[in-house]
């Protein structure tokens, strides 16, 4: 009996000592209780997680509301999947710029996995992504991105675009024709040629790009991303894939044509440059410059180079109708600095601070890619006192930056003064990141900035946009349509020729 009592006492001592050691290690490692947990968030329900808290037609607004309660970094659960949202200018900049390596991967999202098949430049990771992005940036620069050469290509497209608008003779028209003009710029870079606006093949391509951009942001496709097996029963991803396959068939046809006409001494576009790269890499046992990557990279450039800039211009026209006094101030500045009959140039932007401020404010206010394109963590990441496990999807919420109350005086109002000082001079703003920032920032940012200034200024030089008969300013709807990119709700405009 004494032996048993002694043994139990020794066991108690051992347990106490073990517990003490465990507590010491726990404390020594920086209090795992606070740093090893994922960021806070609402309690998930069984099966659906936090789905009941989301307005799937306006997910960015739901996330903005949650950030008020849970802070700059919070966790949500959709089905079995955990997602971390980063909100506010300071936190997003820290993640994407200061901690670029920690948040530098692209998230694996079911809809984008099946559309890209893990090829191309937007939805890939690792050495493949680095090679494709490096080549894409280099090639875009070779074809004039940020240079005078590209300026002339854009100016060449402004002329037929103005003529097309003239053909409506002041009657109401749908601004979707903007997509044709903007797309022709990226087409000239990719394929070495432009298309006529009434070309049925070209119109079908633009329709498929526009439709997919809308569909991938709809509730049914979001359900497919979070619950692939259940979401696949809804079938919307099949329509997305039909459009992708249609676009791919066109691209393959163009590649075959360019290959037949290929001349190393006459590189006319991105496809030609890629074919040259394939030729240079032909002796290597391993290369990333495969046919699949060519098709996907062209598709990435074609889609991104068409949709986002044209959507911004369409927001610009809508906002000029809504605020005619702002439109007039832009036109007054144009008259001072650009001679009649002369197209705007990039150099003019330096002399036109008000116009520049209006364009920037259109981008900020329209907030066309509200959720950003999701990132992920390549390793376990400690951020703001929390542990975010490897492979976690990260949403760097661009809405929370472009509408950050600590950065903008009137974030929910259209206000060009956000980019003007007291003397009317243009001022840059660190929280202006519509193209995102860091390693995954938009590769075509310089091209888009050039297009926005030249097209917007060229349009307001030629036309005054006003409301169709029977429509009042109060009737104009500034709420965006549902989609991955926030496009304006469909509207019509009338264009009065200024000369």
DSSP class of 235: -
Task: Examine residue 5 and state whether it is found in any structural domain, yes or no.
Answer: no
The predicted model gives 432-438 an average pLDDT of 97
pLDDT of residue 131: 96
Quote the CA–CA distance of 166 and 458 in Å, as a whole number. 13
Segment among 140-144, 315-319, 361-365, 396-400 with least mean pLDDT: 140-144
List pLDDT tens digits, range 458-485.
Answer: 999 999 999 999 998 988 989 999 999 9
DSSP states of 437-462: -GGGS-TTHHHHHHHHHHHHHHHHHH
Task: Examine residue 158 and state whether it is found in any structural domain, yes or no.
Answer: yes
First to last CA, the chain: 111
Q: With 50 as the cut, is the pLDDT of residue 365 above it?
A: yes
Best CA proximity match to 151, nearest among 122, 113, 189, 121 = 189
pLDDT of residue 155: 95
pTM (2 d.p.): 0.91
List pLDDT tens digits, range 287-296.
Answer: 999 999 999 9
The predicted model gives 55-62 an average pLDDT of 96
Task: Examine residue 450 and state whether it is found in any structural domain, yes or no.
Answer: yes
The predicted model gives 290-318 an average pLDDT of 97
Task: Examine residue 154 and state whether it is found in any structural domain, yes or no.
Answer: yes
pLDDT of residue 287: 94
The predicted model gives 177-205 an average pLDDT of 96
The predicted model gives 60-69 an average pLDDT of 97
Best CA proximity match to 434, nearest among 483, 366, 376, 481 = 366
At 285, the pLDDT band (50, 70, 90 cuts) reads: confident
How many degrees, rounded to 5, is the angle at CA 117 between CA 111 and CA 118?
Answer: 100
Where in the sequence is the domain holding 245, given as residue range(s)? Answer: 31-497
Q: With 90 as the cut, is the pLDDT of residue 457 above it?
A: yes
The predicted model gives 428-444 an average pLDDT of 96
Best CA proximity match to 75, nearest among 447, 459, 383, 403 = 383
- The CATH code of the domain that includes 140 is 1.10.630.10
Task: Examine residue 179 and state whether it is found in any structural domain, yes or no.
Answer: yes
pLDDT of residue 139: 93
The predicted model gives 152-167 an average pLDDT of 96
| Inter-residue contact 83 to 393 (CB < 8 Å) | yes
List pLDDT tens digits, range 7-31.
Answer: 334 433 333 333 333 333 333 333 3
pLDDT of residue 36: 54
Residue 161, exposed/middle/buried by CB under 10 A (0-12, 13-18, 19+)?
buried
Task: Examine residue 356 and state whether it is found in any structural domain, yes or no.
Answer: yes
Residues near 141 by beta carbon (within 8 Å), at least 6 away in sequence: 147
Task: Examine residue 462 and state whether it is found in any structural domain, yes or no.
Answer: yes
Q: With 90 as the cut, is the pLDDT of residue 432 above it?
A: yes
How many domains, in total, are found in the chain?
1
Segment among 146-155, 241-250, 257-266, 439-448 with least mean pLDDT: 146-155
Task: Examine residue 182 and state whether it is found in any structural domain, yes or no.
Answer: yes
């Amino acid at each position: 009996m004494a032996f048993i009592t002694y043994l139990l006492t020794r066991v108690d001592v051992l347990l106490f000592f073990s517990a003490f050691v465990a507590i010491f290690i726990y404390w020594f490692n920086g209090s795992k209780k606070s740093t090893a947990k994922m960021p806070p968030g609402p309690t998930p329900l069984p099966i659906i997680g936090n789905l009941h808290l989301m307005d799937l037609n306006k997910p960015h607004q739901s996330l903005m509301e949650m950030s008020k309660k849970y802070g700059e970094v919070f966790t949500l659960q959709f089905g079995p999947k955990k997602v971390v949202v980063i909100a506010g200018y300071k936190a997003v900049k820290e993640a994407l710029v200061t901690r670029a390596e920690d948040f530098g991967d692209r998230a694996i999202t079911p809809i984008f996995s099946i559309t890209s098949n893990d090829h191309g430049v937007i939805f890939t990771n690792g050495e493949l992504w680095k090679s494709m992005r490096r080549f894409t940036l280099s090639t875009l620069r070779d074809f004039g991105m940020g240079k005078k050469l590209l300026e002339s290509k854009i100016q060449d497209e402004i002329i037929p675009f103005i003529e097309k608008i003239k053909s409506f003779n002041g009657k109401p028209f749908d601004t979707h024709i903007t997509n044709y003009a903007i797309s022709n710029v990226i087409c000239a870079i990719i394929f070495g040629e432009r298309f006529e606006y009434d070309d049925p093949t070209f119109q079908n391509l633009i329709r498929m790009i526009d439709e997919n951009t809308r569909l991938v942001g709809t509730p049914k496709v979001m359900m497919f991303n979070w619950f692939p097996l259940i979401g696949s029963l809804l079938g919307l991803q099949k329509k997305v894939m039909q459009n992708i396959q249609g676009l791919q068939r066109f691209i393959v046809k163009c590649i075959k044509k360019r290959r037949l006409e290929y001349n190393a001494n006459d590189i006319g576009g991105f496809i030609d440059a890629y074919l040259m790269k394939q030729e240079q890499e032909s002796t290597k046992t391993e290369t990333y410059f495969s046919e699949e990557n060519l098709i996907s990279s062209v598709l990435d450039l074609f889609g991104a180079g068409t949709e986002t800039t044209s959507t911004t211009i369409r927001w610009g026209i809508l906002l000029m109708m809504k605020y005619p006094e702002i439109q007039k101030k832009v036109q007054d500045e144009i008259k001072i600095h650009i001679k009649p009959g002369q197209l705007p140039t990039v150099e003019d932007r330096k002399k036109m601070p008000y116009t520049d401020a209006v364009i920037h404010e259109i981008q900020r206010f329209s907030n066309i890619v509200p959720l950003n394109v999701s990132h992920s963590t390549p390793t376990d990441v400690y951020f703001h006192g929390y542990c975010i496990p490897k492979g976690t999807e990260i949403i760097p919420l661009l809405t929370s930056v472009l509408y950050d109350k600590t950065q903008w005086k009137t974030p929910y109002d259209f206000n060009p003064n956000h980019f003007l000082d007291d003397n009317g001079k243009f001022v840059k703003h660190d929280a202006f990141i519509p193209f995102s920032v860091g390693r995954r920032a938009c590769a075509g940012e310089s091209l888009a900035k050039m297009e926005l200034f030249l097209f917007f200024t060229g349009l307001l030089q030629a036309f005054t946009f006003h409301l169709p008969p029977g429509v009042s300013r109060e009737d104009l709807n500034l709420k965006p349509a549902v989609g991955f990119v926030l496009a304006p709700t469909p509207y019509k405009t009338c264009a009065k020729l200024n000369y």
